Amino acid sequence: MNRSMDMSFLIHEPEGVYHAKAGQFLTSHYLADFRKSPQLFFKRKLGLIPDEDRPAYLLGRATHVRTLEGRDRYNEQFAVGGPINPQTGKPYGSATKAFQEWVAAQKKPVLTVEQAQLIENMAVGVAMNEHAVDLIVDGVAEGVVRDVLDDVRCQIRLDWFNPTCGIVDLKTCDDLTWFEADARRYGYAYQVAFYRAVLAKAIDELVPVHFIAVEKREPFRCGVWRVSEDTLDQCERENAAAIERLKSCDRLGNWPTGYEEVRVFDAI
């Protein structure tokens, strides 16, 4: 890879547009649902299982914009705080009419002062890690790629693409000490292996993959991990096998839970 590479393969579109097309494409999150349970995937695709944890999603999205796209873009997309009660000199409560009217007038998501401070602290944490800065000093945020894997239309939205260092995925965590355990628990390697595979179809090249992880609490430590080729290859093989099973489920119209058979419990 080189810094002069043409990055026209990246599509730039609002996040809402990307998610609105999720029903037409396989995403890393849908594939993760399928690996967990075909029935979960099926119900999620039908919209029978609503999205959850919206406050955490808002905080994560705002953190990505502030850290990767900068303060100006962050200020364009999010409002902070709320109206001040002139009688008390303090902000109106979130349940008051004055606050709700102020939120409606912003025409964009609203963060509390506490949330905004947390986001600033995490952005500073990332900026204090020279390796993280090297990864995001050059490149493009939130680039979308669509292509076909094994006859299945797929789409990805990359946190960051660096023309030299490849895919960069920004994660937040409670304690950096346990990030690798969190990554295994939440299947982060499968997620970025899917990204790499879809991107490879678009550019005919396998690129490096890095995680940047930053703590959501003091001291807001930030670490960088390069995902090994062996790990990516193994996860890509397992993803490909899952896609084959998905196609079979779709063809047969059968979406099992994954727990139809009796299992043997022999652990102490």
Where do the domains of the chain lie?
A: 1-46+128-262, 53-112
Q: CB of 205 within 8 A of CB of 245?
A: no
Question: What CA–CA distance (Å, rounded) separates 220 from 175?
Answer: 9
Residue written as token pair 């393969």? 9
Structure tokens at 132: 């993280």
Contact of 92 with 85, CB cutoff 8 Å: yes
- Return the number of other C-beta atoms located less than 10 Å from residue 247's C-beta: 13
- Predicted confidence at residue 54, as pLDDT, reads 65
pTM value > 0.85: yes
Instruction: Give the pLDDT mean for 171-180.
Output: 97
* Distance in angstroms (rounded) separating the CA atoms of residues 255 and 37: 8
Which whole number is the average pLDDT over 233-238? 98
Let me know if domain 1-46+128-262 sits in CATH 3.10.290.10: no
Q: Is the predicted pLDDT of residue 55 greater than 80, yes or no?
A: no
pLDDT at 53 over 70: no
Q: Which pLDDT score is estimated for 3?
A: 47
What kind and span of H or E run contains 159? strand 152-162
The β-bridge partners of 55 are none
Residue 22 and residue 4: Cα distance in Å, rounded?
31
Distance CA(211)–CA(183), nearest Å, equals: 10
Average pLDDT over residues 229-249: 98
Confidence of residue 59 (pLDDT cuts 50, 70, 90): very high
pLDDT band at 4 (very low <50, low <70, confident <90, very high): low
